[in-house]
Amino acid sequence: MARTPQPPAPAQIDPAEAHRLTVAGEAVLLDVREPAEHAELHAPGAVLVPLGGLGGTSGLDAVRAAGGGRPVLAVCRSGSRSQTATDLLNAHGVPAVNVAGGMRDWLRAGLPVHRGECRCGGAI
């Protein structure tokens, strides 16, 4: 029996949908900003792996482990670094989607954030 081709995964996802998927446990939110940016403000439950840490095997393995087979939704401040991270992850076989507009649009959408010290497990 022939398989029906699946449409390609979206290149980007809006912050509200990213929040819905992460709260439902259907995806993991990957914050690719620097630790100081994350400590200042981050989405609840976001896993911190700075973009620079994704270049090596240990960073990719950490993302795979955090994702547990779920899609990865990459977020940064504006969506630029997270797009780079998404491209890198997909190239290494880790299904990833960019959160459009990053934390700026997350805030504009009125979605929850933690301010101050990380209460979500810290960096990987």
* Span 12-45, pLDDT tens digits: 999 999 999 999 999 999 999 999 999 999 999 9
Q: What was the pLDDT predicted at 33? A: 97
Task: Go through the domains of the chain in sequence order and give each one's CATH number.
Answer: 12-115 (3.40.250.10)
Longest dimension (CA), the chain: 54
The full length of the chain comes to 124
- pLDDT given at position 36: 94
pTM of the predicted model, to two decimals? 0.85
* pLDDT tens for each residue of 83-122: 999 999 999 999 999 999 999 999 999 999 999 765 444 4
Other beta carbons within 10 angstroms of residue 11's beta carbon come to 12
